[in-house]
A and B are shown apart, each in its own frame.
Chain A
Amino acid sequence: MKTLCLTNGRIIDPANNRDEAADLWIRDGVIIEPPAKDALKGVKVEMIEAKGLIVAPGLIDMHVHFREPGQAHKETIGSGSRAAAAGGFTTVVCMPNTNPSADSAGTIALIREKAKATSIVNIFATGAITKGLKGEELAPYGAMVKAGIVALTDDGHCIQNHEVMRRAVEYARMFGLTVLDHCQDYSLVGNGVMHEGEWSLRLGLPGWPRTGEEMIVARNILLAELCDSPIHCQHISSGGSVGLIREAKARGVKISGEVCPHHIALTDDRLQGFDTNYKMNPPLRTERDIEKILGGLADGTLDILCSDHAPHASYEKEVELDQAPFGITGLETEFGLFCDILLHKKKVFTLSRLIEMLTIRPAKLLSLDRGTLSVGAPGDVTLLNPDLEWTFDKEKSASLSKNTPFHGTEMKGRAVRTIVGGETVWQLS
Chain B
Amino acid sequence: MKAWTRKDLVALEDLSVDELVLLLDAAKAFKGVGERSLKKVPALRGKTLVNFFVEPSTRTRTSFELAAMRLSADVINITASASSLQKGETLKDTALNLQALRADMIVLRHSSAGASRFLADRLDSSIINAGDGAHEHPTQGLLDVFTIIEKRGTVRDLNIAIVGDILFSRVARSNIFALVKLGANVTLVGPTTLVPKAFEKLGVKVAHRIDDVLETTDVINLLRIQHERQRKEYFPGLGEYVSLFGLTKARAARLKPDCLIMHPGPINRGVEIDSEVADGAQSVILEQVTNGLAVRMAVLYLCAGGVGLSA
Task: Report A's interface with B, CB cutoff 8 A.
Answer: 197-198, 201-205, 273-274, 315, 318-323
A201 close to B202 (CB less than 8 A): yes
B135 to chain A: closest residue by CB: A204
Chain B residues with CB under 8 A of A274: 113-114, 117-118
B54 to chain A: closest residue by CB: A320
Chain B residues with CB under 8 A of A273: 117, 121
Q: Does B90 contact A (CB under 8 A)?
A: yes
Q: Does B13 contact A (CB under 8 A)?
A: yes
Q: Does B170 contact A (CB under 8 A)?
A: yes
Question: What number of A-B contacts does a CB cutoff of 8 Å give?
Answer: 58
B198 close to A321 (CB less than 8 A): no
Chain A residues with CB under 8 A of B134: 204-205
- Chain B's interface size range is 20 to 34
Chain A residues with CB under 8 A of B113: 203-205, 274, 321-322
Query: With contacts A197-B198, A315-B90 known, is A320 near B135, CB below 8 A?
Result: no
Residue of B90, B133, B198 touching A322 (CB-CB under 8 A): B133
A323 close to B201 (CB less than 8 A): no
B170 close to A320 (CB less than 8 A): no
Q: Does B224 contact A (CB under 8 A)?
A: no
CA distance A424 to B275 in the complex (A): 79
Q: Does B115 contact A (CB under 8 A)?
A: yes
CA distance A204 to B136 in the complex (A): 8
Chain B residues with CB under 8 A of A318: 90, 92
Q: Does B4 contact A (CB under 8 A)?
A: no
B202 close to A321 (CB less than 8 A): no
CA distance A202 to B196 in the complex (A): 12
Residue of A197, A202, A315, A320 touching B112 (CB-CB under 8 A): A320
Q: Does B110 contact A (CB under 8 A)?
A: yes
CA distance A319 to B167 in the complex (A): 24
- Against A, the Cβ 8 Å flags (1 = close, 0 = not) of B107-125 are 0001011110110010000
A193 to chain B: closest residue by CB: B113
CA distance A198 to B196 in the complex (A): 10
Chain B residues with CB under 8 A of A202: 13, 173, 202
A316 to chain B: closest residue by CB: B90
CA distance A321 to B136 in the complex (A): 15
B199 close to A201 (CB less than 8 A): yes
Ranked nearest first, the 3 interchain pairs of A and B with the lowest CB-CB distance are A274-B114, A204-B134, A320-B112
Chain B residues with CB under 8 A of A201: 167, 196, 198-199, 201-202
Q: Does B238 contact A (CB under 8 A)?
A: no
CA distance A322 to B110 in the complex (A): 12
Chain B residues with CB under 8 A of A323: 112
Q: Does B91 contact A (CB under 8 A)?
A: yes
B133 close to A204 (CB less than 8 A): yes
A271 to chain B: closest residue by CB: B114
CA distance A322 to B117 in the complex (A): 13
Chain B residues with CB under 8 A of A322: 112-114, 133
A323 to chain B: closest residue by CB: B112
CA distance A204 to B117 in the complex (A): 13
Residue of A197, A203, A320 touching B118 (CB-CB under 8 A): A320
A194 to chain B: closest residue by CB: B113
Query: With contacts A273-B117, A320-B110, A321-B113 known, is A204 near B92, CB below 8 A?
Result: no
CA distance A197 to B202 in the complex (A): 12
